Structure 1
């Protein structure tokens, strides 16, 4: 009813336009006893802040309120140019309190109407008076009180609509008061206006604590939730201070304004303290990116200002920020350069080096952090391109002592046996690149120093330890480093040459060429243009064999083929389409509802991206999702559309939300991402692995990334065949249906394949894991059943009779079932035929899928910055961790026993499963425990024929795994038929039996490693 009586408009008249005085009549309300009530006082314009306070306390009219706000915004003290209400004092605190608690709730609706008027409008004057730390604190105190009142009302089951209304008013006021990028700069100037350092320091600390902490975000978010839940308009616009990302970006822009002003020592200290506190809000990467882009990556920017801000941080915070800056430079600018093999990439690397040089300037601590980043066991940019390492080396090479330190530490580290055995291969590749780059710089500046290092025992240990490493990739890095360093120091026949084909191929030649790379700090202009086109070398697709011309049949004359009457061609092959009886679009009774502007399905990748970005259109979203899997697969090998827009497509699909509740939304989204991975596996496998760890995504979105990697890897290996692969075939590759029947007995066509598309089950990876587990446990269960039912000789006749019966009946069944094979216990079990996987596919799964996932997980375990700590918390969510471990196991199984890098993959996964962090999560959580056991299932299954090598290379790990699984098996109760704990116990029993078989069989091999194992 109130909405019907709402006025359409209001017209406010000034006093001079109002009715004459003689027409006014004082309204006198009489009480019940006949006494006259006191009439409302008409206040005169205030002359001082004290008068203004008295007027505000007695409910002034709108014109009196405007006069009070005008006075408060202009009344300045003698010792300051700022109004008295801006300066902290008992009087200003009372004025602010009255404005927030009394004036704002009663006059907000009238004040908001004047927002488009002059600067002297009531709302603008009010916001100016409250734009102080005292005003913000008063608003926050009022918010907290209203929240507590709302909670108490909720417990008492009595809802008051005015509470949610007041919360909405206070939130709107907070948003308007904090609006602007120069807010903190003005607050700092007010706090230091006309005051000495001793009196202004507490005020600055209060500002830093209020805005750098999470108080504003938490109160605004809680108040917004209560206001939306209880208010009449539950779909109101979101309040930006309640969003941690939006608030962090606002704080970053305000810090930039502080950094762009004329810096004084006190202002630098204030900005650095605020920056350090803001880094703890959970959005440190976005905050650093915001500040860095404004202070460094804009025209006429000065990187030294960012360096000054960085130099006043504590050492731990300074190192975190500097490492994040390196990561941003790499991800935003240098990763797209790849191996940086072209001359066009050198200006961009020099620009990044120039930015780093300007930021650090004369900061010795910052340069030491760069040395530590290059040489630390978890540094040097894991998974990032060589461009960032070249840029950092260009800055480090300016100091000869730092350069020598990098070379010596890299040389001793790369030859360490524990480092070779336990470090991820991506980490070893990065450190090998740092070693080769630093060796080239040292050779150009001090050739004698490099020559002496190559004559030391450290160099001999590098070569010997690398050559006897059990992993093929570790040996390759050792040979490349040996040939490269010996090539620039030794002459003639003294040069080290292993005469291996791998070191002379493209990758080996590129590694050895790093010693000739020399970069310098240059201008920042290439960084300002983020879309510089860098030519990319097209990798050779080794998965496709060379096409050989099909053998032509001998030409013996005419070929006469008899066709049946049913298959004979008609005289006229061109048959016109029949006219449809009715149009589907005209079936609606109301002609105004017929749509003639329905969008068409996208036929180009750029159209698909356009549709995916249009999140407000139902038709575009539905068309994009339904056509994305087929279109991406169809365009994969034709042109460069997919390769140029693969990352953009993937980022859109990963972050896409089901706004319209589309049917099969999750399946279509997954199929689109799988199509991207299958189309460009070498590039997008690493991109998805990086996105899983570094992206700002939810648990469900990260889980979808893992599902895409697992299913995409199995499809590449040939285990899974997607229906979309057949649907994506071009019509030119299919025969007409009438001709196809001559060659294919069953009927299949493009239309049928596209019509038989089935969605993925919601637990696709779990189903595959269950199937592999059943295959793993079936022989053990059969053996146990044989042992319990009697000797094998008694079952031989039954087996032979059943075999003869199958052959007599001609049934299409295997001659030996799984259980039948296991009945002959003492006969040697024939090795199962392994599906032949090309080495290129296995290598692709190892380098682009498996290794990035394991290496980045180990890096996340050792990270210490806040943003990655939050990511670490998400990664150890039980269901996400279990899915991650299952994905690794499935990828290892998909690579198969024919993988050349199988020893390295086995060692990485085995040690990851036995890591303290993973086993700690498995305690008391059956989901994670089952995933760990499934990881061992995949390891034992793939390494069934090389168990002796596993015991030789990882004796301690094998025995440790046996002891852990035995303890786990003893701790599980089981007994619940078909229950989760019973299934986990059965799986633990199977793993334990296989491990004990290996330990018993190769006990003598394990004796050497078991000495001292406790």
Structure 2
């Protein structure tokens, strides 16, 4: 057949490019379709696809295949521990996220909103979060030694992607429960226990917070982050843990879930900000839903004993700060529902558990308990918990009575602590026992007052009106004494929680978005009236005493506001200075407005002082103003920022000393502030106390008079009578701004005043070898005192009115000393670490010394102030080892003690004999062991010479007292080693 068909002709041509494309198009299309869709059915094939640099569509196809396994559509579940799941998660975290994160975010912002969620669902498990944390640590190691700038570093890119991924994974309040349930029911209890330990360690070991914070810092420097990274904030993270526990408890707990929640709660309180965690649990579990009470008690019972006590202490603190400290303490029956509701919360926590009951009993009766410095409401609520338990009530009364009459307790316990325990005794009193004799014999006025109050109150319970104890003292007829005696009539019981529940606002979500202020349209400017034409007749009164030598200021050549080349940048709507306290608060809150911040700072000292005694503007907003000023940051690097902020806080203290002195003292110990902010609080208390005592401190002292109450200056001089106060106000204009080390300068000045008269006496006061040691310092003391003394005797500390002195003692000095003792005995290592920070401890001791000096020798509470301060100084001797600044502060404290008590050294030796002997031994050791000599004699001798001179001065004065009153001290010397 082939032979029959013969071709007529044959022709050849070259193949064109179009034909070649036609031949290739079909197989290329089929290959592309294969690459965009994953058709595998095993994890090994999914892993190979992810490793082969997949296209975006192929990546989504693989992720959806993995997601189906999570939903149970096939056998492979990436959440279950296995070699395949570990490898896939590693590739997703280290390769897919760095390369595709931006693409996934852009796609999720468009039509494919679920693309990013598919990746998150694949990694939202225990192994996925562990892999992210491990990769985060690896990237941080790469970023640190990288020689390239952060902006050009590849590690900074990857850090930002991984950090945003981790933030997206931990956003919901049921994430921990979801991750635990994803593990599934394991047959082996050992595997369940190991996974539970790994889960708890992952979320409570602090690595997520620390690594996120470090990565955020690097990304911020490189300018890679656009969104807030909340997981690096300890407060928000702890709140997120608490909300997860709340949601888990609310949805029902099995045995394993209870163990997980218990361990997370136990270790979560060790991350810091444990009060936030307890606040969320109490507010959301106990106050929001009464059905959760039983579950909460189970959760609490599962905690170790130490953690249960910590929860109880934090709850007491929460109830005080949030509900009970703001009650009106003038009427003990007015706030009974709130007191009973707080007692109901405490009753739920203690339950019928003897251990927790004993914790609460010890809190009421221990030496460092009963809520020192807190309002009486928390003690009233705590006593009410035992209202139906006679055995515990009798125990409270017996312990309180025994402690109340103990001589050592009367002598050494801080005053605020004695107040608190007196209230507990009166609240728990049911029988009368005579235990006030030691109180009445005490040397401190406050101790005697408390003894008489308790004696009369308890006697009134068992004796008639004619036979009851009556001391016939004016102090017993005061409002305070009547209030104390009314406490024995209080009989509270735990009640419903509705009053507290009404005061609770709904909990805020942990992923708090950045607050944006609504834009406010600028007000339309009203047209200015046309300039008046013609002449203006003005009557000018000539003043005969007017100084003709004064030259008026010349008019400025140009307006600074109009000097900008671009007229569109000129701000014509600058705010006016605030004239009301509410406007001042608005300005201080507006941290994004430079003009308002500057006006608020410059206006605050004057405005607060002028409004202090007129109306209730300052008294109603004092705490809010103080909170804003304490936490204010120098965002715009304003001139004289620190001084203006400090002057504003001093103005608040001077305006409301009784209230705000205690508030600042409480804030110093309890507030969440930096060391510099705490230091500013101490400066406010020290300088504010001196101004209240009548010393010239602030350049704003002349602004206390309200303008509407003052005559014009030209008329006032004909009617005003010159007085010392007028002279003080005129000199206030010449005062300079307070330097940052104002307290240090003041301490140095007071020390030189103390040492000056000792220079002439040093040679005669010391004999023997000590005279040779002190001889070199005698000449230096004389040279330093020559400029200030000039042969005159040392000026005595002027006596001030007892009302002012008692105010300094009760509202400034005692809150600082009592809260220090309470912080020393607290379970918080963080609080003790802050207090013993060298600079802060130095400033704290100097503040107390300055307040004691400001109170003066006429203070009725001087013996109690001396006792508390001396005990505190001897208690911090261990911190002086190796730190000259603390040693100098302790010596300055002794200087203030001796200076104020100079007129009653015999009484000081009688009351504080043992402290005198201990101080002589310690100061002598400081003097002998501190290097210093003639080198650099004069002003430039250094810190060691300053310490040695202070030690020499204190040692001379103490040895004078010991030699003069040796017979008085013999009783205290017996047994001293």
TM superposition score normalised by structure 1: 0.82
| Change in 2 beyond 3 A, CA 1:591/1:757 | farther
Q: Which residue, 47, 51, 70 being the options, matches 1:53?
A: 47
The alignment status of 1:883 with 2:843, answered yes or no, reads yes
In structure 2, stretches of 5+ residues that fail to align are 1-20, 506-540, 547-553, 767-786
1:269-299 deviation line (CA, Å, top 9, x unaligned): 2101101001111221122222222222336
Question: Whole-Å Cα distance in 2 between the matches of residues 121 and 63 of structure 1?
Answer: 13
- Mapped to 1, the partners of 2:807 and 2:871 lie a distance apart of 22
Matched, 1:639 2:599: no
Q: Which residue of 2 aligns with 1:733?
A: 709
In the TM superposition, residue 785 of structure 1 has moved relative to its aligned partner by: 7.5
- Asked whether 1:145 is paired with 2:138, we answer yes
Residues 1:654 and 2:646 are matched in the alignment: no
Deviation at 1:367, TM superposition (A): 2.2
1:337-352 alignment runs, 5 A limit: 337-339=327-329, 341=331, 343-352=333-342
Matching residue of 2:470: 497
1:779 to 2:767 alignment? no
Q: Separation in 2 of the partners of 1:565 and 1:205? A: 90
Bigger drift between 727-736 and 66-75 goes to 727-736
Residue 362 of structure 2: which of 372, 375, 388 is its match?
372
Q: Indicate how the Cα distance of structure 1 residues 276 and 71 shifts in structure 2: closer, same or farther if over 3 A, else same.
A: same
Residue 838 of structure 1 corresponds to 801
2:947 aligned residue: 984
Out of 394, 397, 412, which is 1:407 matched to? 397
Q: 1:342 to 1:610 in 2, by over 3 A?
A: farther
Aligned partner of 1:760 in structure 2 is 738
In structure 2, the CA distance between the partners of 1:499 and 1:955, relative to structure 1 (3 Å rule), is same
Shift of 1:236: 5.2
Per the alignment, residue 31 of structure 1 pairs with none
1:698 counterpart = 2:679: no
- Aligned ranges for residues 422-821 of structure 1 at < 5 Å? 422-439=412-429, 443=430, 450=431, 454=433, 459=434, 462-491=435-464, 493-530=466-503, 566-567=543-544, 585-586=561-562, 588=564, 590-742=566-718, 758-784=736-762, 818-821=789-792
User: Do structure 1's residue 926 and structure 2's residue 902 form an aligned pair?
Assistant: no
User: Residue 84 of structure 1 aligns to a residue in which SS?
Assistant: coil
Counterpart-to-counterpart distance in 2, 1:625 and 1:692: 22
Match of residue 164 from structure 1? 156
Match of 1:290 in 2: 280
Q: Distance in 2 between matches of 1:207 and 1:127?
A: 18
Correspondence for 1:911: 871
For the structure 1 residues 389 and 660, does the alpha-carbon distance in structure 2 shift closer, same or farther, using more than 3 Å as the test?
same
Report how far residue 767 of structure 1 moved.
1.4
Matched, 1:1002 2:965: yes
Deviation at 1:951, TM superposition (A): 0.7
Measured at CA, do residues 1004 and 586 of structure 1 come closer, stay the same or move farther in structure 2, by a change above 3 Å? same
1:902 aligned to 2:862? yes
Provide closer, same or farther for how the CA distance between residues 150 and 27 of structure 1 changes in structure 2, counting only shifts above 3 A. Answer: farther
Query: Structure 2 vs 1, CA of residues 742 and 151 (structure 1 numbering), >3 Å: closer, same or farther?
Result: same
The alpha-carbon deviation at position 238 of structure 1 amounts to 4.8
Matched-pair contact (CA < 8 Å) for 1:609–1:649: yes
CA separation of 1:300 and 1:1002: change in aligned 2, threshold 3 A: same
| 2:202 is equivalent to residue 244 of structure 1 | no
Separation in structure 1 between the aligned mates of residue 588 and residue 207 of structure 2, nearest angstrom: 37
Indicate how the Cα distance of structure 1 residues 579 and 706 shifts in structure 2: closer, same or farther if over 3 A, else same.
Answer: closer
Q: Distance in 2 between matches of 1:749 and 1:994?
A: 36
Q: Relative to structure 1, is the Cα distance of residues 738 and 466 closer, same or farther in structure 2, using a 3 angstrom cutoff?
A: closer
- What's the CA shift string for 1:446-493, capped at 9, x where partnerless? xxxx25xx2xxxx3xx22221221211111111111111111012355
Q: 1:369 to 1:565 in 2, by over 3 A?
A: closer
The structural deviation recorded for 1:388 is 0.7
**Aligned partners of 1:380 and 1:430 also within 8 Å:** yes
Q: Which whole-Å CA distance do the structure 2 matches of 1:205 and 1:768 have between them?
A: 56
How much has 1:170 moved relative to structure 2? 1.2
Alpha-carbon distance in structure 2 between the residues aligned to 1:174 and 1:297: 32
Distance 1:338 1:875, change over 3 A: farther
CA distance in 2, matches of 1:469, 1:130: 70
Do 2:107 and 2:113's aligned partners in 1 also have CA atoms closer than 8 Å? no
String of CA shifts for 1:227-271, please: whole Å, max 9, x gaps.
344x3x177555222222222222221122122121222211210
Shift of the alpha carbon at 1:751? Answer: 13
Q: Tell me, in whole angstroms, the C-alpha distance in 1 between the residues paired with 2:727 and 2:112.
A: 72
Tell me the number of residue pairs that the alignment of Structure 1 and Structure 2 aligns: 887
* Structure 1 residue 750: Cα displacement: 14
Distance 1:583 1:182, change over 3 A: same
- Worse overlay, 987-996 or 514-523: 514-523
Contact 1:723–1:757 (8 Å) recurs in 2? yes
Answer yes or no: is the 8 Å Cα contact 1:252–1:291 preserved in 2: yes
1:527-549 residue CA offsets vs partner (Å, 9 max, x unmatched): 134399xxxxxxxxxxxxxxxxx
1:333 matched to 2:323? The reply is yes
Match of 1:134 in 2: 127
5 Å matches for 1:954-973? 954-973=912-931
Compute the displacement of 1:632 (Å). 1.0
CA shift, 1:151, in A, is: 3.3
CA distance 1:196–1:858, shift in 2 (3 Å)? same
Aligned to 1:935: 893
The CA deviation at 1:679 is: 0.6
Q: Distance in 2 between matches of 1:81 and 1:284?
A: 43
1:82–1:476 Cα change, 3 Å: farther
How far does residue 395 in structure 1 lie from its aligned partner after superposition?
1.2
1:217 aligns with 2:193: no
Which deviates more from structure 2 when the two are superposed, residues 185-194 or residues 616-625?
A: 185-194
Q: Which residue of 2 is the match for residue 795 of structure 1?
A: none
Provide the residue aligned with 1:66 in structure 2.
Answer: 60
Cα gap change, 1:530/1:670 in structure 2, threshold over 3 Å: closer, same or farther?
Answer: farther
Deviations 1:555-591, CA, capped at 9 Å, x for gaps: xxxxxxxxx974399xxxxxxxx99998665555543
SS state at 2:326 partner: helix
Q: 1:181 maps to what in 2? A: 173
Asked if 2 retains the 8 angstrom alpha-carbon contact of 1:410 and 1:435, the reply is: yes
Gap change, CA 1:837 and 1:568, over 3 Å in 2: closer
- CA 1:664–1:639 in structure 2 vs 1: closer, same or farther (change >3 Å)? same
Secondary structure of 2:140 counterpart:
helix
RMSD between aligned residues: 3.3
Aligned with 2:78: secondary structure? helix
Aligned equivalents of 2:889, 2:727: Cα separation in 1:
40
Distance 1:568 1:893 in 2: 43
Deviation at 1:309, TM superposition (A): 2.2
Q: Is 2:38–2:62's contact at 8 Å kept on the other side of the alignment?
A: no
Matches of 2:905 and 2:731, distance apart in 1: 43
Which stretch of structure 1 is more off in the superposition, 80-89 or 49-58?
80-89
CA distance in 1, matches of 2:149, 2:893: 52
Deviation at 1:782, TM superposition (A): 2.7
Deviations 1:290-331 (A, max 9, x none): 222222233667444433322211000110111111111001
Match of 2:774 in 1: none
Corresponding residue for residue 518 of structure 2: none
Give, in whole Å, the separation in 2 of the partners of 1:297 and 1:370: 21
User: Offset of 1:160 from its aligned partner?
Assistant: 6.6
Q: Please say if residues 437 and 515 of structure 1, whose CA atoms lie closer than 8 Å, have aligned partners that are also in contact.
A: yes
What stretches of structure 1 of length at least 5 have no aligned partner? Answer: 1-20, 29-36, 444-449, 533-563, 570-577, 789-815, 823-830
Distance in 2 of aligned mates of 1:40 and 1:192: 35
**Displacement after TM superposition at 1:784 (Å):** 4.1
Please say if 1:200 is aligned against 2:192: yes
Q: Deviations 1:769-800 (Å, cap 9, x if unpaired)?
A: 11111111111113347999xxxxxxxxxxxx
